Amino acid sequence: MKVTLKKNVCIVEREAGDRAIPSRGGWANDGHHGESVLLHRVKTELNRQGGDFIKKRMWRDGHLVDDHQQYIRSRSINEETIGIYNDHWAIRGAEEDFNAGRAELAVVNLGK
């Protein structure tokens, strides 16, 4: 998996040998397990590259979204905090794009 973090987008490219991510299953079969797996892999790769990110459900940080939607954000909350999420979450999971070869996740500034 190749993860490239830019100012407004995080590009996740599937490389030869990367396992596909199942699109269905997970907690209560709500269909979001695949995206959770993808975000975990992206978080792990970004941390391996020297970042300090965590994966969380967005509503726990006070965002007014569905209680299942997850995102990756900087561990510490300050003026440089960023959030990485699937901005077409209600339409399809980002794991579907990843399985096809490339997923683009939105990057937003969450700083104070």
Q: Is residue 64's pLDDT more than 70?
A: no
Provide the 3-class DSSP secondary structure of residue 77: coil
Distance CA 2, CA 77 (A): 26
Q: Categorize the per-residue pLDDT at 78 as very low, low, confident or very high, splitting at 50, 70 and 90.
A: confident
Name the token pair of 40. Answer: 């975990």
Reported pTM = 0.84
Q: What percent of the chain has pLDDT over 70?
A: 82
Residues 85 and 58 sit within 8 Å (Cβ to Cβ): yes
Write down how long the chain is: 112
**What whole-number distance in Å separates Cα of residue 3 and Cα of residue 43?**
10
